[in-house]
Structure 1
Amino acid sequence: MHDRLALPIDVLRSALSCRVVTPSDSDYNRMRTVMMGGIDRRPSAIVCPLTVEDIAHTIAFARQHGAELAVRSGGHSSAGHSVTDGGIVIDLRELKALDVDVAGRTAWAQAGLTAGEVTEALAEHGLAVGFGDTGTVGIGGITLGGGVGFLVRKFGLTIDSLLAAEIVTADGRVIEADATNHPDLFWALRGGGGNFGVVTRFKFQLRELPSFYGGMLILPATPEVVAGFMAEAEAAPEEFSAIANVMPAPPMPFLPAELHGKMIVMGLVAYAGDVAKGKEVVDRFRALAEPLADMVKPMSYGGMFGPEDPDYRPTAVSRIMYLDGFGKQQAQTALDALAASDAPLRVVQLRVLGGAVARVSPDATAYVHRTQKIMAAVASFYVGPDDKPRREAWVKDLSAALGPVPGAYVNFLGDEGEERVRAAYPGATWDRLAKVKAQYDPDNVFRLNQNIPPAT
């Protein structure tokens, strides 16, 4: 850790056109707080740039003084990469410009925008970009890592809608990368995370989405219902995407008290198309068992994000994996483990992939797991540091029992070590990313991420 008193922040401040927050400021604690609980890091300064020049100056200052750099878009990194202890945070929250070309079906979006903000603005024109499942996520992190959400089978990953990106590199250059300009960098940015610089703007291909049918469908969880849910999700047309959360029912106000703690499938289902056809598809899930709650209806795509508590700071451990399938035996394994745990919240989350994701060649972007059928996550909340090892062991054991296939998804990785980062970028993909890293960040200035060291 660097001694924050050793950094001449006044020198940095004098070179910038923007606000610089330090420990003496009244909102310092609010500004350094990230989404995940249990992360308590104290940067020497938080820079909120207004221009690419502000970013370039900050990078140069950090390099000159040996200060660690963190880059924050929305602050949702589960590993806490959005904040540094003693170093400098480049916090992009002031970069909120959105330039929509309705006729051309494209938009330039600055990296301080959230998925919810972009989605709401585009909905006015009947247009969309597929992001994730949470509106407060910054578009920077989710886009650079891949982007798996409620439109994934219809329109692919977020990176599959990316046409160009503006990036400030470690040497202060401002580059616009696309398929013809810096194509190697553009390939790496689509899935390679924040390893290559500070991305300030994204150009997206917009998709027409005039109608949408979705919401929450809660079913009682038995092995047959869970396996049936996954089979229906795999068989559904590509307009349909879903997230199945297999878990004990939390004390949600719309569920009767006697159901709290009972095993449920909390399905978040989305049909990106005609409402009548969407209802036909969702009716197959309703037929699996008598729904405990059914909030699926015609709505906007942005309505899937739902309200969020800005003070929500979960402390959780998780493991992300891919699965070839999820039948009754795996469902029974999951339900037994969930029932045996006494964690305050625990879940097996399942997402069927395929569709538009699988039609992109695995070597076309840095996200290579195109042919995987199911993305799964096992997660457990913990209470205090003494409780954490027990929950980590439970997550590890259940993950292994579900029979994962090799691979990982970088956006859902925690602080899990190089082996897990390599699992996200196997074989030749890792080697190619390391070469791009060596070209654009040879000194590994941008290392507070799921790091890919430069090739030597």
Structure 2
Amino acid sequence: MSILTWSPTDLRTALDGTAPLVVPDDDGYEDARRVEPGGIEHRPAAIVRPTDTAGVVRALRFAREAGAEVAVRSGGHSVFGLGTRDGVLGLDLRGLDSLDLDVSGRTATAGGGVTAGAYTRAAGAHGLATPFGDTGGVGIGGITLGGGVGLLSRARGMTIDNLLGAEIVTADGEVLQVDDEEHPDLFWAVRGGGGNFGVATRLRFALGEISDVVGGTLLAPATPASVAGIVAAADAAPRELTVILMVMTAPPMPMIPAEWHGRLVLMANLCWSGTTSGADAALAPLRDVVTAAGGALVDGVRTGPYAGLFEGGPPSGTAVATGRTFFADGLDESAAAHLLAELESCDAMMRAAQLRVLGGAVADVAPEATAYAHRGARLLGNVAAVAPTASAAAGYTPWVEALADRLRGGREGVYANFALDGGPDTARAAYPGTTWDRLAAVKRAYDPDNVFRGNVNVLPA
């Protein structure tokens, strides 16, 4: 907002002590506005940091009455910074960090600011898990509302397939408990429709039993045959195996042989959640591909607790990324060769393509059952380039768009959680056909004034 039409002082009065408020003159403002990874320099006019639902309610009622634009940060990182913008009233949910585990009932209720890593470690102590992504630093609110694709997706479905219910605060400050029976239209929409409909202050998930998994990282030379071969082997594998593949230039890390620094490699992050006795047979086709490429440069595959795979977050620092997400039906050697040639020729300080093999339990759910409509896609990809500044990163946007278009192979669609922006073209691609129509109707019912527009935005019908 170029001209602020509301006063942070009035906001403080409206909160009446129900939630801490940070404004630009406060000592803690710089820390409060910072998101990971670095380089995102948005400056909200005020940041509310509620510790319970009441604080969220008061903040939203003020925003509606004052005409304040709202941006919601759901606890964790934001690669492209959609959870904050200049001049907005920011809602930072990191204080909503309660986690209640019903071990015997196999359910968990978590605050909207809990991170996936904290949740996974706590549940893992009881031999239980809910599928989230692959990074501990992501907030469960954001990843859940957008879908949730990660290391257990092929075996146990997306995060939204394990969501049993949620507490949603709507734009007018009403608190709703939603599930299959209460407000089922809204429950359908928040399973993939993003933050378009309200603030998720609590989420209730199913917990599944999980013993030790076989997982970790395989690093190998990247060739057209090895990249396409890993994708094909992962696609053909039993559903208990999920593979997330990164194709990139090798960073100068001590674990990587020095002679490979700066050269093209593939990094397969994998998780086998079946019986440990079946792991060798399941992983054999992937290891065969790696052997044919010259052997593993790093072999970090180990047997251990699932929570051990769920560490860390995005890299720190001030670099800025630009990227494009896409779906595809596979990746052949021709497409892999094109990918490697483009990565070799690009001069960005870091450039990479991530390829997540889908299928399995993801595809078991009907496309119309949730607001995530891309159940039939075999591959979810993301092309990214990293530069020192936002302006420099923007210069690589045509490159990432062209490469993503080549790799998608004619399949339409984008994944909302990896979207660079929330504009109309992105939103239509994320929510195609009747999914868009249905979401627009729910938006009209629960947020007719489009208060929640700092997202992959669905306009009210």
Instruction: Name the TM tier (shorter chain).
Output: over 0.9
Distance in 1 (CA, whole Å) between partners of 2:318 and 2:438 is: 36
% same residue = 49
**2:397 aligned with 1:396:** no
Cα offset, 1:117, TM superposition: 0.4
Match of 1:378 in 2: 383
Answer whether contact 2:215 2:301 (CA < 8 A) is retained.
Answer: yes
Match of 1:440 in 2: 446
Match of 1:7 in 2: 7
Answer whether contact 2:320 2:390 (CA < 8 A) is retained.
Answer: no
Match of 2:159 in 1: 158
Answer whether contact 2:38 2:319 (CA < 8 A) is retained.
Answer: yes
Distance in 2 (CA, whole Å) between partners of 1:11 and 1:220 is: 55
Cα offset, 1:384, TM superposition: 2.5
* 1:13-412 matched pairs, under 5 angstroms: 13=13, 15-288=16-289, 289=291, 290-308=295-313, 311-402=316-407, 403-412=409-418
**2:419 aligned with 1:413:** yes
Match of 2:431 in 1: 425
* Residues 1:281 and 1:36: Cα distance change in structure 2 (over 3 Å): same
CA RMSD of aligned residues (A): 1.6
Distance in 2 (CA, whole Å) between partners of 1:448 and 1:308 is: 22
Gaps (5+ residues) in structure 2? none
Cα offset, 1:399, TM superposition: 1.6
SS state of the match for residue 253, structure 2? coil
Distance in 2 (CA, whole Å) between partners of 1:19 and 1:214 is: 41
Q: Deviations over 1:13-69 (max 9, x none)?
A: 452322111112211001001124332122221111122221111111112222111
Distance in 2 (CA, whole Å) between partners of 1:118 and 1:389 is: 35
Q: Deviations over 1:147-193 (max 9, x none)?
A: 00000000110000000000111111110000011000000000000
SS state of the match for residue 408, structure 1? coil
Q: Deviations over 1:404-437 (max 9, x none)?
A: 4011100000126211211110011101000000
TM-score by length of 2: 0.95
Answer whether contact 1:129 1:158 (CA < 8 A) is retained.
Answer: yes
Distance in 2 (CA, whole Å) between partners of 1:211 and 1:313 is: 37
Distance in 2 (CA, whole Å) between partners of 1:228 and 1:310 is: 28
Cα offset, 1:231, TM superposition: 1.1
Cα offset, 1:440, TM superposition: 0.5
* Residues 1:310 and 1:228: Cα distance change in structure 2 (over 3 Å): closer
SS state of the match for residue 298, structure 1? strand
Answer whether contact 1:223 1:328 (CA < 8 A) is retained.
Answer: yes
Cα offset, 1:201, TM superposition: 0.5
Q: Which amino acid aligns with 1:213?
A: V
* Residues 1:81 and 1:307: Cα distance change in structure 2 (over 3 Å): closer
Cα offset, 1:245, TM superposition: 0.6
Gaps (5+ residues) in structure 1? none
Answer whether contact 1:217 1:266 (CA < 8 A) is retained.
Answer: yes
Cα offset, 1:219, TM superposition: 1.1
Distance in 1 (CA, whole Å) between partners of 2:11 and 2:153 is: 46
SS state of the match for residue 76, structure 1? coil
Q: Which amino acid aligns with 1:183?
A: P
Answer whether contact 1:35 1:313 (CA < 8 A) is retained.
Answer: no
SS state of the match for residue 449, structure 1? coil
TM-score by length of 1: 0.96
Cα offset, 1:284, TM superposition: 2.5
Query: Which deviates further from its counterpart, 408-417 or 290-299?
Result: 408-417
Distance in 1 (CA, whole Å) between partners of 2:72 and 2:99 is: 20
Q: Deviations over 1:333-381 (max 9, x none)?
A: 1111111112111111111100001010100000010011111111111
Aligned positions, number: 455
Answer whether contact 2:167 2:176 (CA < 8 A) is retained.
Answer: yes
Answer whether contact 1:321 1:404 (CA < 8 A) is retained.
Answer: no
Distance in 1 (CA, whole Å) between partners of 2:342 and 2:85 is: 36
Answer whether contact 2:137 2:312 (CA < 8 A) is retained.
Answer: no
SS state of the match for residue 93, structure 1? helix
Q: Deviations over 1:68-89 (max 9, x none)?
A: 1111113533342211322211
Cα offset, 1:258, TM superposition: 0.7
Distance in 1 (CA, whole Å) between partners of 2:314 and 2:403 is: 29
Answer whether contact 1:59 1:170 (CA < 8 A) is retained.
Answer: yes
Query: Which deviates further from its counterpart, 305-314 or 145-154?
Result: 305-314
Distance in 1 (CA, whole Å) between partners of 2:93 and 2:333 is: 45
* Residues 1:9 and 1:311: Cα distance change in structure 2 (over 3 Å): farther
Distance in 1 (CA, whole Å) between partners of 2:67 and 2:6 is: 11
SS state of the match for residue 217, structure 1? strand
Query: Which deviates further from its counterpart, 15-24 or 228-237?
Result: 15-24
Distance in 1 (CA, whole Å) between partners of 2:380 and 2:271 is: 17
